[in-house]
């Protein structure tokens, strides 16, 4: 019979080991899944995790993609992790990402075709503001009325998606687009285009911002009173109040920061890799970032690594779709499994499992 | 715009149909939450139920078998949540989110072969005399059996919670799991069963969308219905009959905006499509003043020490 | 000799790191009130849990009237005639009295019949109770009645009572003892767990004394002095804290007309509280749990804001200030609940030192933390207050109750407060740690600080405080010098017996 025993304090070893265990377990379970789909599991795992980086044929395309995909995931996940640490659950990052893109792109398109250095910085501010404002809705409702932020932020994703559709069909539609939905492509408007900073690396302003966010979050959480308040609130809300933390300010800060970062991610995406506002502009980064945040154990450095890993599954998944005709849903499922396994093995951080002989009842 | 094209009788009748998925899923989640567990995976369980029910109906030709399969599918998926939260003591919010993400992936994988197919139709009941009543017959008495099942389920859950020993123990576990444990009740076992009941209900609700309301299979077709079902429980202050009221309110908004779209109202379609979500937020705000009814142990991890 | 009701033979139960019970043996006779005496952590709770089927012994046996008795779960214990009144954790606030009682029974009758039986039994034993009231609205004494009635409805052979008087006023204790004596006269045996010696001498026939999990002796309480029993219990001679007897100084804390609505659903509102505390004074605030103690602490710590003038510190109005501003002004607090309120269980002691120490110990520079200083502060607390732990990097939850409480109190005392408010400073703490904490409070007052001790332990208040006041349903009585107060006077200040009229009115 298995018995759980609470550890006197959280295990540091397992805090680092559990994400690795989760990855390994997911690979095993994923392999079984792929085998059930009639694919060679070893090959599938290789195509997903190895080929994008090291196969000569694909690496030149895939390696830059790694940063392109990891950038928004890391940026959003860092923002989310601040709230998650404090027990504030913003799960509507997808909506804030969309709003950041709409407002940011809207600012850029408003200047079209003006050629000026300040267009892009203004777009960045617009993107940040868009995401921030969208996140302020659940934040203010929670502070004012105690409304559940989980449900409100999620509902606003659906509202955001409808807004996106409306924008790409209406206000932001390309007047020269022959009636097709979608805005002008910002790639054709140099003042607004978020180009690669170093050609061939995938490194753009958004990726740089993501790395800066990692450093910012690290310092905040480990060196600053505000970060301490965030962690304290998550661990023991009553102790936090006793300590002098104002829970309302914390809600506004955490939701605001996560919205701001998600908005920035949306702006950098729409002005760079994606290029335009379109109905299917959002691809679920806001939700995948939740997995990234947990997989990185809500720790900035962990999130950096988890973001890269998750980006790899995206690219590898596309490759597997191409090479092995592995359905894209299989990758989505694979990512979901990763979170499951992580939550399951996380038990080992705080508990010890002991084998006890079953006593006679 | 032609508002006269909207028939009140048909509007009310379709309201009952539109409300049924969130009603069934919502009443299931109510039972889970009354047992002290917050399962945010309703959306994932609904979409899984939707594809399970759809696929099995296509394979067997029988919607009845399909609905059973949907309930089983939802319950099995919820079992994953139960293992995570009740045995691995994982955070319930995170586990619920994981369940939703996983369910969305699983359903689109399972559903690949079924896009574009049409399932066998679920017949509407024809109740002699009642169905022929003018107006009321159309509104109340000529629906498919699941509409009535949903109503019966609400009544049953209400009666069980209020009048039976099982209901009392379930409420006790949700209210204070430490006390229930001290009195010798099996907290984990009761919660696992409640979670699976909630999963089965969510599965049924999902299958209702794919088999009757739409009826076909598209990826992500539940489109937030699971989240609305969660909001319903809050709206209802954990009381069964108020879930019914809430479901009809949301059903009404949904049907009304669809009718307005069809009638060609001068508001863009996207803004009408937003309305159910905005109404949900509005209702949540209004109801959040009354938080006293939440079960005492809701969302807390239970670990029997010693 | 007649056969005992329950014979316990060599019961042993070990947890990782501690042997909670080490081959404990004793017997409980028919119709006997048997005391189980011991300090916090002596293993009383574990022993009782084994009798009630919540915990299985590692070894040893029990016999009930000669038959082997090994309940696998509480249900089996109840079926064998064992009933238990818990110290806490066994009532459901949102359910009504009848539902709560039904949950503790194997085969409850229909609610209507049950309600009638509750009325009749509660009348019979002098414990009036309305079956349809919500338990969360009841006073601590009434809640205990719910548990007792729940037990009595099952006609138990053995009734276990875990620290029953800790939530009662002296008058309510008197009523409880009458009930217990009536039960004994009817042939029910009672296992009475307590660490209050005078009570045991007044009530019990026999006493078994536990120390560190072992049975260290059995005695007849009426023939043994309290002092002897105390020494058996503690194992060494106790140092009684000594006051240096400082002179009272200026008014340090002035509360006038403080009213505050209840912050939680089942809390207590504070009603028009007046209080003056001088420098060098220790004011004891007594009262039964749930009469506004927690709320008073929240109002003083700044977690709840009140009108500015309601609280003055050294003449300065501070009612509107938050916790950190009050700390800066010199008002420090230590709440009752150690894990989760006074300290964060999963965080290290260094982080817990930072939790309240940042302002006065200057542990942050423009918001940036000085981890080095925080660690030094934690080490200072550990050293000066003899906190047993390998070091400040250990999590708070790894400390025993007494050690963590020493840390919490030490953290505030070492910040040199102008006024310190503590709630239940020695609750669940072993005797040595309790003595050390009381001494620290006395020393603090001797050094000129004003100290408010909120406690339900009257002995403690009599020992340390210069003045005494009591909270009763959110109101505070006028304070009186501790010297010369009688138990009866204290009991009346605490509100006498609560809720005795309820059922009569409706019956």
Give, as one character, the DSSP assignment of residue B211: I
Distance of residue A225 Cα from the nearest chain C Cα, in angstroms: 5
In this prediction, residue C507 carries a pLDDT of: 33
Mean pLDDT, residues C380-389: 92
Give kind and range of the element (H or E) at residue C208. strand C206-211
Inform me whether the pLDDT recorded for C448 exceeds 80.
yes
The domain segmentation of chain C, as residue ranges, is 6-234, 251-493
Confidence of residue B306 (pLDDT cuts 50, 70, 90): very low
**A179 contacts: CB under 8 Å, gap ≥ 6:** none
Query: C touches which chains (3+ CB pairs under 8 A)?
Result: A, B
Confidence of residue C504 (pLDDT cuts 50, 70, 90): very low
**C294 contacts: CB under 8 Å, gap ≥ 6:** C267, C335, C336, C423
Give kind and range of the element (H or E) at residue C243. none
User: Is B166 near chain C, with CB under 8 Å?
Assistant: no
Inform me whether the pLDDT recorded for C236 exceeds 70.
no
Mean pLDDT, residues B76-100: 91
Q: Of A223, A239, A361, which has the smallest distance from its Cβ to C342's Cβ?
A: A239
Residue-wise pLDDT tens digits, C155-174: 899 999 988 887 788 888 88
Identify which of A191-195, C184-188, C232-236, C237-241 has the greatest average pLDDT.
C184-188
Mean pLDDT, residues C280-295: 90
Confidence of residue C503 (pLDDT cuts 50, 70, 90): very low
Inform me whether the pLDDT recorded for C490 exceeds 90.
no
Residue-wise pLDDT tens digits, B247-266: 998 888 888 888 888 777 77
Q: Which range is least confidently modeled, B289-298, C95-104, C133-142, C389-398?
A: B289-298
Q: What percent of chain B stands above pLDDT 70?
A: 94
Half-sphere exposure for A75 (CA within 13 Å, toward CB): 32
CATH number of the domain at C251-493, please? 3.40.50.300
Structure tokens belonging to residue C64: 């009930």
How far apart are the C-alpha atoms of C114 and C149, rounded to whole Å?
11
Confidence of residue C502 (pLDDT cuts 50, 70, 90): very low
CB contact under 8 A, B40 and A150: yes
Distance of residue A25 Cα from the nearest chain C Cα, in angstroms: 28
Residues 113-142 of A with CB under 8 A from B: 141
Range C6-35 burial, b when 16+ CB lie within 10 A, else e: bbbeebbbeeeeebbbbebebbbbbbbbbb
| Pair C419, C332: CB distance under 8 Å | yes
Question: Residue A118 class from Cβ within 10 Å (0-12 exposed, 13-18 middle, 19+ buried)?
Answer: exposed
In this prediction, residue B5 carries a pLDDT of: 61
Q: Is A105 helix (H, G, I), strand (E, B) or coil?
A: helix
Residue-wise pLDDT tens digits, B106-139: 998 898 888 888 888 877 777 777 777 777 777 6
Longest CA–CA separation in chain C, Å:
77
Q: Alpha-carbon dihedral of residues B146, B149, B154, B158, nearest 10 degrees?
A: -160
Cα–Cα separations (whole angstroms), residue C498 to C250, C265, C430, C473: 37, 20, 30, 10
Inform me whether the pLDDT recorded for C109 exceeds 90.
no
The stretches in chain A having pLDDT less than 50 are 359-361
SS (H, E, C) A269-315: HHHCCCCCCCCCCCCCHHHHHHHHHHHCCCCHHHHHHHHHHHHHHHH
- Give the right CATH number for C6-234 from 2.30.110.10, 3.40.50.800, 3.40.50.2300, 3.40.50.300: 3.40.50.300
Instruction: Name which of C349, C301, C334 is nearest C425 in CA terms.
Output: C334
Give kind and range of the element (H or E) at residue C504. helix C502-506
Q: Which residue has the higher pLDDT, C98 or B119?
A: C98
User: Is B88 near chain A, with CB under 8 Å?
Assistant: yes
Distance of residue C158 Cα from the nearest chain A Cα, in angstroms: 22
User: Is B176 near chain C, with CB under 8 Å?
Assistant: yes
Confidence of residue B291 (pLDDT cuts 50, 70, 90): low
Confidence of residue B292 (pLDDT cuts 50, 70, 90): low
| Pair B227, B104: CB distance under 8 Å | no
**A219 contacts: CB under 8 Å, gap ≥ 6:** A227
The domain segmentation of chain B, as residue ranges, is 3-113+144-287
Q: Which range is least confidently modeled, A167-176, B20-29, B74-83?
A: A167-176
If you count residue pairs, one on A and one on C, with CB atoms under 8 Å apart, how many are there? 76
ipTM score of complex: 0.86
Give kind and range of the element (H or E) at residue A168. helix A149-169
CB contact under 8 A, A150 and B94: no
Beta-bridged to residue C159, according to DSSP, are C83, C190
Confidence of residue C506 (pLDDT cuts 50, 70, 90): very low
Structure tokens belonging to residue C189: 């045996």
Q: Which range is least confidently modeled, A123-127, B40-44, B94-98?
A: B94-98
Query: A touches which chains (3+ CB pairs under 8 A)?
Result: B, C
CB contact under 8 A, C367 and A243: no
Confidence of residue B193 (pLDDT cuts 50, 70, 90): very high
How far apart are the C-alpha atoms of B91 and B89, rounded to whole Å?
7
In this prediction, residue C343 carries a pLDDT of: 95
CATH number of the domain at B3-113+144-287, please? 1.10.3470
Q: Which domains does chain A show, CATH number per domain? A: 64-326 (1.10.3470.10)
Chain B residues within an 8 Å CB radius of C78: 184
How far apart are the C-alpha atoms of B150 and B134, rounded to whole Å?
24
Chain B residues within an 8 Å CB radius of A329: 105-106, 108-109, 112, 219
């Amino acid at each position: 019979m298995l018995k759980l025993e609470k550890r006197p304090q959280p295990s540091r070893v397992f805090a680092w080991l559990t994400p690795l265990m989760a990855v390994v377990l997911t690979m095993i379970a994923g392999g079984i899944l792929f085998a059930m789909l009639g694919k060679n599991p070893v090959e599938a795992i290789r195509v997903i995790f190895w080929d994008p980086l090291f196969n000569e044929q694909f690496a030149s395309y895939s390696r830059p993609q790694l940063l392109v995909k990891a950038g928004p995931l890391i940026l959003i996940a860092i923002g989310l992790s601040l709230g998650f640490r404090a027990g504030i659950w913003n799960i509507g990052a997808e909506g804030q990402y969309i709003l950041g893109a709409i407002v940011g792109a809207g600012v850029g398109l408003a200047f079209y075709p003006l050629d000026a250095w300040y267009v892009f910085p203004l777009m960045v501010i617009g993107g940040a503001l868009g995401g921030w404002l969208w996140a302020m809705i659940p934040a203010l409702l929670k502070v004012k009325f105690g409304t559940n932020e989980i449900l409100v932020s999620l509902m606003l994703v659906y509202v955001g998606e409808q807004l996106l559709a409306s924008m790409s069909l209406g206000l932001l539609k390309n007047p020269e687009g022959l009636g097709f939905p979608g805005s002008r492509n910002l790639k054709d408007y140099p003042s607004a285009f978020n180009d690669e900073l170093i050609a061939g690396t995938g490194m753009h302003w958004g990726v740089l911002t993501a790395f800066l966010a990692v450093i910012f979050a690290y310092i905040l959480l480990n060196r600053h009173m505000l970060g301490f308040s965030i962690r304290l609130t998550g661990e023991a809300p009553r102790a936090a109040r006793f300590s002098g933390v104002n829970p309302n300010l914390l809600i506004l800060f955490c939701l605001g920061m996560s919205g701001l970062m998600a908005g920035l991610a949306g702006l950098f995406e729409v002005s760079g890799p994606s290029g335009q506002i379109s109905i299917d502009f959002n691809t679920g980064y806001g939700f995948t970032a939740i997995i990234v945040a947990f997989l990185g154990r809500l720790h900035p450095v962990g999130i950096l690594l988890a973001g890269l890993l998750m980006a790899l599954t995206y690219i590898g998944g596309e490759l597997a779709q191409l090479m092995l005709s592995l359905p894209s849903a299989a990758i989505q499922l694979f990512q979901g499994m990763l979170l499951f396994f992580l939550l399951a093995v996380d038990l080992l951080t705080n508990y010890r499992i002991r084998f006890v002989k079953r006593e006679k009842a | 715009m032609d508002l006269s094209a909207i028939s009140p009788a048909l509007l009310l009748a379709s309201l009952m149909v539109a409300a049924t998925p969130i009603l069934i899923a919502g009443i299931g989640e109510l039972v889970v939450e009354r047992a002290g567990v917050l399962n945010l995976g309703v959306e994932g369980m609904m979409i899984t139920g939707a594809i399970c029910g759809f696929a099995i109906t296509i394979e067997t030709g029988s919607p009845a078998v399909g609905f059973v399969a949907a309930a089983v599918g939802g319950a099995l998926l919820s079992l994953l949540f139960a293992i995570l939260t009740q045995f691995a003591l994982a955070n319930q919010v995170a586990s619920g989110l994981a369940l939703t993400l996983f369910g969305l992936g699983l359903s689109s994988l399972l559903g690949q072969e079924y896009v574009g197919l049409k399932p066998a139709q679920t017949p509407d009941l024809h109740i002699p005399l009642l169905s022929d009543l003018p107006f009321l017959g159309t509104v109340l008495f000529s629906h498919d059996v699941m509409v009535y099942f949903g109503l019966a389920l609400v009544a049953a859950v209400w009666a069980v919670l209020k009048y039976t020993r099982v209901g009392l123990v379930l409420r006790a576990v949700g209210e204070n799991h430490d006390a229930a444990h001290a009195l010798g009740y099996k907290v984990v076992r009761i919660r696992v069963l409640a979670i699976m009941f909630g999963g089965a209900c969510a599965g049924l609700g999902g299958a209702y969308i794919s088999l009757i309301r739409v009826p076909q299979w598209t990826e992500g077709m539940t489109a937030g219905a699971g989240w609305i079902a969660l909001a319903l429980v809050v709206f209802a202050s954990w009381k069964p009959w108020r879930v019914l009221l809430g479901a009809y309110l949301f059903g009404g908004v949904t049907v009304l905006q669809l009718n307005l779209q069809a009638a060609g109202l001068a508001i863009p379609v996207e803004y009408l499509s937003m309305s159910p979500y905005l109404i949900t937020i509005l209702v949540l705000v209004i109801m959040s003043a009354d938080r006293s009814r939440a079960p005492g142990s809701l969302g807390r991890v239970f670990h029997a020490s010693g | 000799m007649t056969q005992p009701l329950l014979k316990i033979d060599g019961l042993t139960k070990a947890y990782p790191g501690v042997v909670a019970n080490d081959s404990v043996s004793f017997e409980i006779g028919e119709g006997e009130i048997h005391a189980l005496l011991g300090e916090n952590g002596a293993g009383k709770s574990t022993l009782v849990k084994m009798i009630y089927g919540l915990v299985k012994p590692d070894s040893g046996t029990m016999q009930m009237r000669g038959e082997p008795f090994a309940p696998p779960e509480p249900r089996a214990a109840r079926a064998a005639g064992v009933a238990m009144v818990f110290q806490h954790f066994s009532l459901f606030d949102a359910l009504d009295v009848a539902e709560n009682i039904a949950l503790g029974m194997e085969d409850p009758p229909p609610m209507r019949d049950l309600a009638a039986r509750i009325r009749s039994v509660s009348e019979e034993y002098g414990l009036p109770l309305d079956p349809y009231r919500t338990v969360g609205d009841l006073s601590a004494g009434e809640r205990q009645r719910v548990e007792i009635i729940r037990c009595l409805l099952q006609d138990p052979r053995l009734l276990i009572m875990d620290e029953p008087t800790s939530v009662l006023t002296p008058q309510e204790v008197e009523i409880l003892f009458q009930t217990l004596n009536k039960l004994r006269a009817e042939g029910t045996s009672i296992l009475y767990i307590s660490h209050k010696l005078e009570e045991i001498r007044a009530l019990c026939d026999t006493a078994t004394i536990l120390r560190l999990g072992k049975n260290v002796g059995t005695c007849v309480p009426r023939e043994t002095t309290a002092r002897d029993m105390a020494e058996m219990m503690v194992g060494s001679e106790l140092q009684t804290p000594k006051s240096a007897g400082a002179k009272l100084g200026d008014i340090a804390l002035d509360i006038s007309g403080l009213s505050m609505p209840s912050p939680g659903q089942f809390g207590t509102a504070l009603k028009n509280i007046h209080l003056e505390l001088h420098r060098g004074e220790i004011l004891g605030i007594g009262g039964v749990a749930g009469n506004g103690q927690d709320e008073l602490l929240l109002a003083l710590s700044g977690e709840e804001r009140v009108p500015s003038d309601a609280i003055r510190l050294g003449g300065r109005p501070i009612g509107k200030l938050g916790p950190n501003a009050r700390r800066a002004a010199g008002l420090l607090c230590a709440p009752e609940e150690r894990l989760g309120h006074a300290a964060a269980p999963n965080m290290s002691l260094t982080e817990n030192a930072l939790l309240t120490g940042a302002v006065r110990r200057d542990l942050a520079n423009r918001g940036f933390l000085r981890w080095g200083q925080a660690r030094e502060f934690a080490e200072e607390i550990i050293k000066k207050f003899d906190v047993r732990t390998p070091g400040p990097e250990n999590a708070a939850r790894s400390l025993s109750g007494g050690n963590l409480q020493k840390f919490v109190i030490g953290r505030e005392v070492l910040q040199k407060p102008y006024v310190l408010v503590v709630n239940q400073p020695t609750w669940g703490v072993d005797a040595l740690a309790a003595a050390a904490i009381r001494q620290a409070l006395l020393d603090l007052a001797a050094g000129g600080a004003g100290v408010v001790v909120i406690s339900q332990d009257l002995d403690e208040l009599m020992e340390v405080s210069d003045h005494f006041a009591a909270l009763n349903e959110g109101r505070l009585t006028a304070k009186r010098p501790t010297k010369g107060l009688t138990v009866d006077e204290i009991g009346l200040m605490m509100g006498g017996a609560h809720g005795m009229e309820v059922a009569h009115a409706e019956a």
